[in-house]
Structure 1
Amino acid sequence: MSSEFKYIVRVAGVDLPGDKALAYALADIKGIGVSTAQAVAIKLGLDPKRLLGTLSDEEIEKLSNALREIEKLGLPAWMLNRRKDPFLGVDRHLITSDLLITVRNDIEFMKKIKSYKGTRHMLGLKVRGQRTRTTGRTGLTVGVKRGKETPQQQKKGE
Structure 2
Amino acid sequence: MARIAGVDLPRDKRIEIGLTYIYGIGLSRSHEVLAKTGVNPDTRVKELSDEDVAKLREAVENDYQIEGDLRRWENMNIKRLMDIGSYRGRRHRAGLPVRGQRTRTNARTRRGARRTVAGKKKAK
TM-score, scaled relative to structure 1? 0.71
Checking the alignment, whether the CA contact within 8 Å between 1:23 and 1:38 is kept in structure 2 is yes
Within-5 A mapping of 1:1-16: 8-16=1-9
Checking the alignment, whether the CA contact within 8 Å between 1:23 and 1:41 is kept in structure 2 is yes
Indicate the residue corresponding to 2:81 in structure 1.
110
Alpha-carbon separation, structure 2, partners of 1:12 and 1:147: 59
Indicate the residue corresponding to 1:142 in structure 2.
116
Indicate the residue corresponding to 2:35 in structure 1.
42
Match of 1:32 among 25, 28, 34: 25
Alpha-carbon separation, structure 1, partners of 2:119 and 2:19: 52
Identical-pair percentage: 40
Aligned residue for 2:75, secondary structure, equals helix
| Runs of 5+ unmatched residues, structure 2 | none
Aligned residue for 2:9, secondary structure, equals strand
| Root mean square deviation of aligned Cα | 1.8
The answer to which structure, 1 or 2, has the higher relative contact order (CA under 8 A, 6+ apart) is 2
| Runs of 5+ unmatched residues, structure 1 | 1-7, 71-92, 151-158
CA deviation string 1:39-86 (max 9, x = no partner): 11011111111111111112101110100122xxxxxxxxxxxxxxxx
TM-score, scaled relative to structure 2? 0.88
Aligned residues: 121
